A = this chain, B = another copy of it.
Amino acid sequence: MAARVTIKTIAKDLGISHMTVSRALSDHPNVQKDTRELVKKRAAELGYVKIAAATAMRGDGTRIVGLLLPNIVNEFYASFANELARICEAFSYQLIIHLTDDDLKTEHKAMQQLREVQAKAVVVVPAPGDPHLMGGDRHHLDGLDVIQLIRQRSVTGREAAILVDDAGAISAAVKHLHATGHKKIAYIGANSDLSSGRNRLEAYRKGLRESGLSEIHELIKTAPPSFSMGGNSAEALLSEGVATAIVCGGFEISNGALHALLTSGRKPGSDIAFIGYGDPSFYTWIEGGISTIRVPVSPLANQTLQVLKSGTADDENAQIFEFQAELVIRKS
């Protein structure tokens, strides 16, 4: 393989100084038009690429953005990653994705690696847990422009946060079901390990109260959220035979519950009312449409871009943005 082509290669090739080459390639005004064109032509011919490391080392920064997610198969994270990646493509940023598995140590290591490559900014869905137990490393964010997504965990107090407020939509879901005649409305959601779990359950309760319904213990299923937990909870509700409607409070839970309904031959919408959480594309096209609590993805991604572009590190006080989840009623 040929030795790599640098501005000096081109300079030597053309018998000019490497600075002229540099200037020509970055459209500096102080170059003869002919020279500039000649240089560009030759550079293209030789297959020159500007080594990013060199500019980075000079302190000119990088075009790297980090994204830290628990995983990338959950359709919400996948579509957020997709949107952010598309945005990065449009702005010629490069997106480094790290999976944290919701583990603090993994998250910490990924942050470290992003510092090493001098990422311009890092978008992170913070792992649950207390970061201060991580060995008191006060530096693991130094020089990093951090944007927290979905979950908030203040560390330096200077991280921006882009959050989702789903309380209104969850309460609305309960009230909608009540308005359409349901009195036994079940809830399947995360337990209180995460603040989002607590908040969603509280929103469900608020919906009940505002509908004049009283809480029935058997209709509330909470546990660490997962696909199978959603399925088990739905099956339990079905076999207990009390609930006439189900509201879900989590992405995986929603899919698990839906799976349980469909594979047991129940039709969401006719046999039992169902309101899911999140909005994978196939919700719109199965069983006449699955009602759901939609978490907006594009607005989150676009706001992320805005924050990326404005920069957070220089700001004294954290910027916090909240987007409303939305109740989408379809056939189920």
Contacts and interface: CB of A to CB of B under 8 A. Distances in A.
Contacts of A255: 281-282
A82 interface: yes
Contact of A137 (B47, B73, B281, B285): B47
Interface in A109-142: 109-110, 112-118, 137-140, 142
B98 A97 contact: no
A96 interface: yes
Interface size on A, as a range, is 35 or more
Interface string A282-293: 101111000000
A14 interface: no
A314 to B, nearest CB: 9
A138 B72 contact: no
A89 interface: yes
Interface string A65-90: 00000011101001101100110010
A51 B57 contact: yes
A306 interface: no
B97 A95 contact: yes
Contact of A117 (B52, B140, B143, B280): B52
A179 interface: no
Contacts of A236: none
B94 A49 contact: no
Interface stretch (A30-38, A256-264, A270-278): A256-264
A50 interface: yes
Contact of A285 (B82, B138, B139, B263): B263
Contact of A116 (B2, B52, B75, B115): B52
A56 interface: yes
A33 to B, nearest CB: 23
A62 B53 CA distance: 10
A52 B57 CA distance: 9
Contacts of A98: 85, 89, 94-95
A16 interface: no
A106 interface: yes
Interface string A157-186: 000000000000000000000000000000
